[in-house]
């Protein structure tokens, strides 16, 4: 059954945190900018167009949901809960910070039918957290995750690559610790420099240098491979293209690409095939046609790199997550494993 989010974007104007990458505006006297009537109108509008036989979640995005007052949280959730009781909505998805989760909050979320909580973890390296002004110990992430999963609520983890103070190793270790958390879903975002943030000033004075697109793809592919190999559902890689993100006045720097995930997957396939070519000196690939674009890469970049060495034949009897190379069948997990094995290991 197809899944649809009904997005409701909230801004937590009362948020006391000043993360260097966030440009959320502070407006005195207002906690947020969404009314309960707004929520009803948004839900009703979506229900008119979404297929009846589909899974629908109301998703509160854009702010630290559990950072707003308990009273307002319950007002918002109770509106959606009425639709859940009528069978029109299947659940609620929220995003919040790990240090804004406790037993009382989790019980409220469970009571009103919240099905997924995504934690904006960003990094599991305490030095990176300090440099981004996220002042909580990593242990808080583990405690929050345990509370969420114990309540029968799906856990999501959001990671940001290339934050101030991060390295290839620290970002990868954040992914290793994410696997220990055993989340149901994950999102991976390369860090962008957004205007009107502290990071924008750091970028201007040279104290922060964002990742290039090439470096971001290379850093991300190992993390993507580890999470996917560990059966964690990666629901987004890279920020979704919007009018604001396509505007150079709002994004001052960083590795934005409208198809960042496809770049990462194409690079994973390139590494896999390159390792085989070095040993066998030929690449005769058979694949389901639905998988060919991932193998050849965006704008056929992998085909250009391999040139005449790469020969591809369509075989729709093969599953999408399986390819045959030089007569040998490889699963997608075997492709991924090449990125996460230690150097020198027999990858295939």
Give the CATH number, domain containing residue 12. 3.20.20.70
* Domain edge (last residue) among 237, 258, 279: 258
CA 220 to each of CA 57, 127, 149, 152: distance values in angstroms, whole numbers, following the listed order: 28, 20, 26, 30
* One pLDDT digit (tens) per residue for the chain, 348 residues: 899 999 998 876 656 677 888 876 543 345 677 899 999 999 999 999 999 899 999 999 877 899 889 999 999 999 999 999 999 999 999 999 999 999 999 999 999 999 999 999 999 999 999 999 888 899 999 999 999 999 999 999 999 999 999 999 999 999 999 999 999 999 999 999 988 888 999 999 999 999 999 999 999 999 999 999 999 999 999 987 664 556 567 889 999 999 999 999 999 999 999 999 999 989 999 999 999 999 999 999 999 999 999 999 999 999 999 999 999 999 999 999 989 855 434 444
Asked whether residue 64 is domain-assigned, the answer is yes
Structural domain containing residue 309: 265-340
CA 334 to each of CA 178, 186, 260, 263: distance values in angstroms, whole numbers, following the listed order: 21, 21, 22, 19
Quickly count: other Cβ atoms within 10 Å of residue 34's Cβ. 19
Per residue in 162-187, pLDDT tens?
Answer: 999 999 999 999 999 999 999 999 99
- Name the pairing type of β-strands 193-194 and 251-253: antiparallel
174 and 38 within one domain: yes
CA distance 236 to 240: 8
Tokens coding 1: 């059954």
* Domain edge (last residue) among 224, 258, 292: 258
Closest CA to 164 of 203, 218, 196, 137: 203
Instruction: Report the chain's C-alpha Rg in angstroms.
Output: 22
Q: How many residues would you count in the chain?
A: 348
> What backbone phi and psi angles, to 5 degrees, belong to 72?
-70, -35
CA distance 229 to 100: 30
Please state the pTM of the whole predicted model.
0.91
Per residue in 256-289, pLDDT tens?
Answer: 999 999 999 999 999 999 999 999 989 999 999 9
157 and 45 within one domain: yes
* Domain edge (last residue) among 229, 258, 287: 258
Closest CA to 191 of 121, 254, 263: 254
293 and 183 within one domain: no
């Amino acid at each position: 059954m197809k899944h649809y989010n009904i997005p409701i974007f909230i801004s937590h104007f009362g948020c006391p945190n000043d993360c260097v990458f966030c440009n959320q505006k502070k407006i005195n006297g207002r906690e947020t900018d969404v009314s309960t009537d707004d929520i009803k109108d948004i839900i009703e509008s979506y229900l008119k167009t979404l297929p009846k036989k589909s899974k629908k979640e109301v998703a509160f995005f854009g702010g630290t949901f559990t950072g707003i007052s308990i009273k307002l949280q319950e007002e918002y959730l109770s509106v959606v809960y009425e639709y859940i009781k009528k069978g029109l909505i299947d659940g609620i998805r929220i995003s919040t910070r790990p240090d804004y989760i406790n037993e009382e909050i989790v019980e409220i979320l469970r009571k009103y039918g919240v099905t997924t909580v995504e934690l904006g973890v960003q990094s599991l390296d305490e030095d990176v957290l300090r440099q981004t002004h996220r002042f909580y110990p990593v242990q808080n992430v583990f405690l929050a995750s345990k509370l969420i999963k114990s309540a029968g609520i799906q856990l999501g983890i959001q990671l940001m690559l290339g934050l101030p103070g991060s390295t290839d190793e620290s970002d990868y270790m954040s992914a290793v610790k994410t696997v220990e958390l055993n989340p149901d879903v994950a999102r991976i975002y390369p860090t962008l420099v957004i205007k009107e943030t502290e990071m924008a000033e750091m970028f201007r004075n040279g104290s922060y240098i964002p990742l290039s697109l090439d470096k971001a793809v290379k850093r991300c592919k190992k993390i993507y491979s580890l999470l996917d190999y560990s059966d964690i559902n990666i629901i987004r890689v890279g920020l979704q293209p919007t009018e604001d993100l396509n505007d150079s006045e709002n994004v001052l720097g960083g590795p934005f690409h409208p198809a960042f995930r496809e770049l990462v997957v194409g690079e994973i396939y390139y590494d896999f095939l390159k390792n085989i070519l070095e040993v066998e000196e030929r690449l005769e690939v058979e694949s389901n046609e639905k998988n060919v674009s991932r193998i050849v890469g965006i704008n056929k970049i992998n085909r250009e790199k391999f040139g005449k060495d790469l020969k591809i034949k369509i075989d729709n009897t093969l599953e999408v997550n399986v390819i045959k190379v030089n007569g040998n069948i490889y699963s997608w997990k075997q492709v991924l494993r090449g990125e996460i094995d230690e150097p020198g290991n027999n990858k295939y």
